[in-house]
Amino acid sequence: MVVAQPSFADSQLSTALVRLENVRISAGDIGDDAQVRFLIFNNGHTPLHLRGISSLVAKSSRFEIEISNKKHVTAELLSIPADETLNFQTFHQRIFLSRLTKKLVPGQEIDIKFHFLKGDLDAVAHVH
């Protein structure tokens, strides 16, 4: 289990309300996209809105959602309903760190920042 650390600069996000577990990222070469897998728990009574993720090892990120066999759409914002869990370990919902600036090899750990409308949350991802 990976426990996230809050980033409180302008944040109102509480780790009592949101929890990240099993944060991991696929290995990749410079310029590749790497899929980030995790579970996110919204323990609050209102929806959470995930705007994206970032890391020093990538230039950007993107959400991809499978809507039918081999058909995907991208999203700008994902909502996690109150008292629900969003599973980014499946193949129906994906988030990628795009255009890697550093080669990722199994066994490494990288820092990832999760950006919500109410603030940011820091986590460590294990490269697989």
For residue 104, the model assigns a pLDDT of 97
79 token code pair: 């909502």
List b or e across 25-42, with b for residues whose CB sees 16 or more CB atoms inside 10 angstroms. Answer: bbebeeebbbbbbbbbbb
What is d(CA 21, CA 2) in angstroms, rounded to the nearest whole number?
A: 5
Give me the residues of the chain with pLDDT under 70, please.
1-16, 91
For residue 7, the model assigns a pLDDT of 38
Please state the CATH superfamily assignment of the domain spanning residues 5-127 in this structure.
PCu(A)C copper chaperone (2.60.40.1890)
What is d(CA 85, CA 11) in angstroms, rounded to the nearest whole number?
A: 21
